[in-house]
Chains A and B, each alone.
Chain A
Amino acid sequence: VLNRRCVEAAVMTGLALKCSINKKSLFDRKHYFYADLPAGYQITQQRVPIAVNGSLSYSLCIDNKMSQMVTKTVRIKQIQLEQDSGKSLHDDTRSQTLVDLNRAGVGLMEVVMEPDMCCGEEAAAAVRELQLILQTLGSSQAVMAEGQLRVDANVSVHHPGEPYGVRTEVKNINSIRFLAKAVDYEIQRQIEELENGGTILNETRAFDSKLGCTVPMRDKEGKQDYRFMPEPNLPPLILYDAKSLPANMNHQQVINIDWIHERLPDLPSVKREKLVEQYEILPEHSFALLNEDGLAEFFESVVKQTQMKPKKVIGWILNDLLSHLKQHSLTVKESPVSSFLLADLLNLLEKKEISSTVAKRVLAELWKGEGKTPLEIVKEQKLELLQDQKELEQICQAVIDGQENE
């Protein structure tokens, strides 16, 4: 039985990735034997998937300099709905596989990309952007470490001008960092193999994160014949738009593509543009803000509560706040310093009651979370900037006098 939410999530994702949504899509059975697939087949959409022909734009830093960003695009071949299998845990010591069937049958969305990326860095950047989009849409929380987002990388090499070479599929990639490593390793491996006169097998390989390399996966006995056949229990999935909406159908059974389109939230790329325009920050700042969950909201909250210009606030968010968070492995939500406190501190700085060096000290003190306000800390430790001309003259004079006496 198809879950409505799965269909909505697939349509949202398809629209966000600029795909054509197929108003009629079909389900098929893909047959193979494996311990984690008790039915012996997986229901998927091989002939006519729910969405096709989209694109995903992502940005890369040239030479690791955030100030030089270039935009790239990867074409999305299709998005299909399918069933998950169970989870296998391999116990090599006891020569057995433990199978957990809890997730078997749960709906999955597979996003198939065209081979438009040329290295690990591009793959990682593309997947990161996809992750942000999925999280923004609410289609998925897309945490790779928990298997909510899984990536299989297909890698091949070829000389310029020649057709694409034989590809290998790399599985068992558990993070974006490992994705980049796995892709780059596999590219190198294939190049070396070919330069030594060898050939590339169309095989499935697993990424070994400890060794940083890919190894052939057992159990993949040559090319599989999945004997695809239409799924007899699921009629075609029909989606509607404003024009084709049927008059007398049960509302709960109808999915209206236009209705979903109107309710799409701002995608990351749009959010970034708005941040840059509204607050006059740099594009790379907007990337950094969106890269950390909750950081953009924190920034906007501080800006609302302080007279300091957003252009100056951004430095405090991206340099100071963020480094404190990273040092203590905290998320923005777990920050001991609220946006209110930070705004308070920045106001003192803006009114020139303290220096920026002092502000950094006070921030570190606030981080201890002892409940003191910035002003209390400044007064306690006597960190105020002296404004009185006379007092300053007296101090300078005293220092000079002190020197003369030596």
Chain B
Amino acid sequence: QKVSVEVLDHLEHLALVDFRDSEGVERLQKAIQFADQLHEVNTDGVEPMDSVLEDRCLYLREDDVTEGNCSKDLLENAREKVEEYFVAPPGNIPLPKLEERDTFLQGS
């Protein structure tokens, strides 16, 4: 099945990706098809593995302060700052709705 325009639009909102053109969407379709091959394996009764690290020990760090006091270095990267705060717009600026943006998805 093809991925619907609604889903593509939803993905662009959520992850701020830009499929750009039909080639981008085609690549997504192919990636999904490739991953779908996993369904061919019978996994009844098998615990899902979510990480190759699952047999490793989760390292626990002691509660000691080992770094810090580097606000000057960190703030150097900011284009705008006020005292020791980073400045950001007043809120999230959501991606405009499908009808209102200039995207190839509109045509589909």
A residues sitting closer than 8 Å to B (CB atoms) are 1-5, 7, 26, 31, 33-35, 88-92, 95-101, 218-219, 221, 225, 227, 230, 232, 234-238, 249, 252-253, 255
Contact = CB atoms under 8 A, between A and B. Distances in A.
Given A230-B50, A235-B51, A3 B89 contact: no
DSSP class of B's interface residues: helix, strand, loop or mixed? loop
Given A89-B85, A101-B86, A230-B50, A34 B92 contact: yes
A218 B86 CA distance: 20
Interface of B: 10, 14-16, 50-51, 53-63, 74, 82, 84-92, 94
A47 to B, nearest CB: 9
Given A1-B59, A98-B87, A99-B87, 12 more contacts: A3-B60, A4-B61, A35-B86, A96-B87, A97-B88, A97-B90, A98-B85, A99-B88, A219-B91, A232-B51, A237-B58, A253-B57
B61 to A, nearest CB: 5
Contacts of B89: 35, 95-97
Contacts of A232: 51, 53
Nearest to A7: B60
Contacts of A31: 14-15
B56 A35 contact: no
Contacts of B91: 97, 218-219
A26 B61 contact: no
A235 B58 contact: yes
A167 B14 CA distance: 24
7 contacts: A7-B60, A91-B90, A100-B86, A227-B15, A232-B53, A235-B57, A237-B58
Given A7-B60, A96-B87, A235-B56, A221 B51 contact: no
B63 to A, nearest CB: 4
B88 A96 contact: yes
A236 B54 contact: yes
B6 to A, nearest CB: 13
B90 A90 contact: yes
Given A26-B50, A230-B50, A4 B60 contact: yes
A218 B87 CA distance: 18
Given A92-B90, A101-B86, A33 B16 contact: yes
Contacts of B54: 235-236
